[in-house]
């Protein structure tokens, strides 16, 4: 827990500062502290329950839209607290992956629609190959070189997500990664490394997604 805090101190400071700004906005609308805390906690609790909140990569966009959203909810408090509570829950859900229309469509489990489909396909076809073993060794070596810079164990994330099928929420609980954005960043690095590796060893032709029929 302490390691997670130390590795993500910038994110923690940002979140605390953002919360302070939001509280100040609530006071600017002359709301009482009880209503301000109710909206903030309800929004945060709903996001925790969904476990798959969406995040901007840009801190500026995150700050702007988070404060704008909460400010709008505070305005609703002045209209009617019950409406504000309903819209707070709705807003928290709608800004999570639970509201992603792809999750309700026929494409949810379509391998060709998945972000890291080439790596998933390669693993499914080459689970015991020397080439895949070599790639895993490369990830372990990358940890030795870049773990302090990226603050993440790339091989551990690879194993949890691609081999064990863990969700983002489960990965966050197991590792020192602070949020979904951190998991995505790690997976992007792994995927980029894989693509570089697969081209280097001349096996790009194996990634013929027209033959992709596995379930994941």
pLDDT in tens, 91-119: 888 877 665 544 444 444 555 667 888 88
126/34: higher pLDDT: 34
- Mutual orientation of helices 59-79 and 9-28 as an angle, nearest 10°? 30
% the chain with pLDDT above 90: 26
Across the chain, mean pLDDT equals: 80
Rounded average pLDDT over 81-100: 81
109/39: higher pLDDT: 39
Rounded average pLDDT over 172-179: 82
pLDDT in tens, 107-157: 445 556 678 888 888 898 888 889 899 999 999 888 877 777 767 888 999
Rounded average pLDDT over 70-99: 86
Specify the pLDDT at position 104: 43
């Amino acid at each position: 827990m302490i390691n997670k805090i130390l590795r993500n101190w910038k994110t923690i400071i940002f979140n605390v500062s953002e919360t302070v700004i939001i509280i100040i906005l609530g006071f600017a609308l002359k709301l009482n502290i009880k209503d301000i805390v109710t909206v903030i906690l309800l929004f945060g609790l709903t996001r925790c329950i969904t476990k798959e909140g969406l995040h901007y990569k840009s801190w500026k966009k995150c700050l702007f839209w988070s404060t704008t959203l909460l400010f709008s909810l505070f305005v609703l408090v002045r209209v009617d607290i019950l409406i504000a509570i309903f819209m707070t829950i709705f807003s928290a859900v709608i800004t999570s992956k639970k509201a992603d229309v792809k999750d309700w469509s026929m494409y949810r489990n379509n391998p060709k629609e998945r972000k890291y489909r080439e790596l998933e396909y390669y693993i499914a076809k080459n689970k015991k190959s020397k080439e895949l073993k070599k790639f895993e060794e490369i990830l372990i070596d990358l940890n030795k070189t870049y773990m302090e810079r990226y603050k993440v164990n790339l091989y551990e994330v690879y194993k949890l997500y691609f081999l064990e099928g863990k969700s983002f929420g489960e990965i966050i609980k197991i590792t020192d990664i602070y949020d979904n954005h951190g998991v995505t960043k790690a997976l992007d690095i792994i995927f980029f490394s894989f693509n570089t590796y697969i081209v280097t060893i001349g096996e790009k032709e194996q990634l013929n997604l027209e033959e992709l029929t596995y379930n994941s």
